[in-house]
Structure 1
Amino acid sequence: MNFFSLPVRPPGAIVITGAGSGIGAALARCYAQPGQLFLLLGRRQTPLEQVAVELRQAGAEVELAAVDVRDAEALQRIAADFAKRRGPVALLVANAGVSIGSSAELVEDCAVFAEVITTNLLGMHYSINAFLPYLPARAQVVGIGSVAGFRGLPGAAAYAASKAAVAVYLESLRLDLRARQIGVTCIAPGLIATPMTADNPYPMPWLMPVARAARQMQRGIDRGRRFLVLPWQMRWLSLLLRILPSGVYERLWPRHLASKPRRVD
């Protein structure tokens, strides 16, 4: 065995959730090439169609479906129908997620907590569970987490908790899928220039253009990385933050600090 060779995925489709914008759309563009089959999933039809046009111009075959990843039954139907008609899935990218500011003190934010946790964690599980029967040996599952999952963040309890859970979920999944020889990659981006970060009211150090971030993610995915943090500055900062004692970590945050905006209906 050549331990220096890159893993080779089997032939098959690439399935991406949250593919209508941001990281999902950027990763789809990275993988677009003549003959590559895609299934793009997202909540809104129009953005998916716009991404599909770009991929088809690169010679790819594209199918799409508007679906909310919180709808487990719909995902099961889509996966079964797609696999029956188009064959196996070689790469599944569970990218769909939401980021909404929240306050544990406000009863009206209970619905926000439920939405964030359900979308980011259960939605990832529902997506992976639906397509797993159609992944052959040497296929790959990729889940998009966040550096926000390393430590608690002010004003983002729901989001940080959901991403912490995602990292542990994907690690457990990796152990479960070893017998099937299916790889699992967890990607923890820092601040990436996407619609999700566009309304952040605080400084965003090392903000990374989404196209450059997607290219780095693609390299990590293709090398079979188990865990990837980017950009590199955030990788080292996250390691430092994880080992800081809680008392020291808490003193890093001012008592009154701008945080992720809450949803105002």
Structure 2
Amino acid sequence: MPRSPLPFRNAVLTGACGGLGQALARELLATGARVALVGLNRPALDAMAALSPERCAVYTPDVADSAAMQVLAGDWMARQGVPDLVIANAGVAGGFDSAEAADLATMRRMLEINLLGPATTFQPFLQRWRSDGATSSRRGLVGVASIAGWHGMPGNGAYCASKGGLIRYLESLRAECRSAGIGVYTVSPGYLRTGLTAGNRFAMPGLMEPDVAARALLAAVAAGREHIVLPRRIGWLSHALACLPTHWHERILLSQPRKPRPGEPGASDIPGLK
């Protein structure tokens, strides 16, 4: 049975291969939306597109490649029209050690995907929206950041920097877009049960299932909430920890096992890492 209607009928979704991305794709398709599925796992995307082939197209660019993203945008708009929702969900995670020269490449690639990727995703569609001028339909840009972007975490500096930078970028973009009637939404998940968290060896309070998170995210965007935390209680916990004296906060974080670095057991893959 179709889900309750959302105000968005045409969506572009990066990171659609698994976890939150797959859950978002299923929810959008269930409401009747047309969805551009963007990711690197072609079989997973094809399987999702097969659920509604007349309303989907599959794309496999590097989200940090602006030229490739512009080609994607042109093709999708020629096929299915101008989207009213663009979700920059593609992201990677991995442990980081500033004393290791090899980890500098990890940081560079993480910044390319997690921070530059949303900008290259939004740019061609934002350009089209601006050229179209005023419209009566709602339009939204959604950036999936993380509560890890709120505060630094030992052994996770590259990821925290990329997500913290994304939060500030979205804050800036929101101010630029408000007068044009374009909503900019910052999503800060805590821990979701996805491939990015599968190798974590530390405590993950408030662990959330991707399908639950996807429904909450889309409902919040539809309601116009510009700052979305999934689940809300993890945001309260993060703020509470930040109120502790710095050395107490650091001691708590340092007592937890570090996230695996690329190449270590349990580490998640970072596409394009050289």
User: What is the TM-score when the length of structure 2 is the normalising length?
Assistant: 0.86
Q: Which runs of 5+ in 1 are unaligned?
A: 1-7
C-alpha distance in 1, partners of 2:79/2:211?
31
C-alpha distance in 2, partners of 1:227/1:200?
26
CA contact (8 A) 1:101 1:260 kept: yes
C-alpha distance in 2, partners of 1:212/1:33?
14
Higher mean C-alpha displacement, 199-208 vs 189-198 = 199-208
Q: Which residue of 1 aligns with 2:119?
A: 125
**Cα deviations by residue, 1:13-71 (Å, 9 ceiling, x for unpaired):** 210001111111111111223642111111221111122123x18xx611111111011
C-alpha distance in 1, partners of 2:92/2:147?
15
The residue type equivalent to 1:100 in the other structure is: G
Q: Which residue of 2 aligns with 1:18?
A: 15
1:242 to partner: Cα distance: 3.8
C-alpha distance in 2, partners of 1:201/1:35?
39
Matched, 1:249 2:249: yes
Q: Which residue of 2 aligns with 1:3?
A: none
Q: Which residue of 1 aligns with 2:92?
A: 98
CA contact (8 A) 1:193 1:210 kept: yes
Query: What pairs up with 1:49-60 in 2 under 5 angstroms?
Result: 49-54=46-51, 56=52
CA contact (8 A) 1:186 1:228 kept: yes
C-alpha distance in 2, partners of 1:34/1:26?
13
- Structure 1 stretches of 4+ with a deviation exceeding 4 A read none
Partner of 2:260, secondary structure, is coil
CA contact (8 A) 1:116 1:158 kept: yes
**Cα deviations by residue, 1:125-175 (Å, 9 ceiling, x for unpaired):** 111112212346420011100011111111110001111111111111000
Higher mean C-alpha displacement, 123-132 vs 167-176 = 123-132
Partner of 2:59, secondary structure, is strand
Among 113, 120, 139, the alignment partner of 2:107 is 113
Q: Which runs of 5+ in 2 are unaligned?
A: 1-5, 265-274
1:245 to partner: Cα distance: 4.3
Partner of 2:50, secondary structure, is helix
1:251 to partner: Cα distance: 2.9
Q: Percent identity?
A: 36
1:84 to partner: Cα distance: 2.9
| Pair 243,203 (structure 1): closer, same or farther in 2 beyond 3 Å | closer
Q: Which residue of 2 aligns with 1:142?
A: 142
* Equivalent residues, number: 253
C-alpha distance in 2, partners of 1:31/1:12?
8
CA contact (8 A) 2:9 2:32 kept: no
Q: Which residue of 1 aligns with 2:43?
A: 46
Among 61, 75, 78, the alignment partner of 1:84 is 78
CA contact (8 A) 2:45 2:58 kept: yes
Alignment RMSD, CA only? 1.9
C-alpha distance in 2, partners of 1:180/1:12?
19
User: What is the TM-score when the length of structure 1 is the normalising length?
Assistant: 0.89
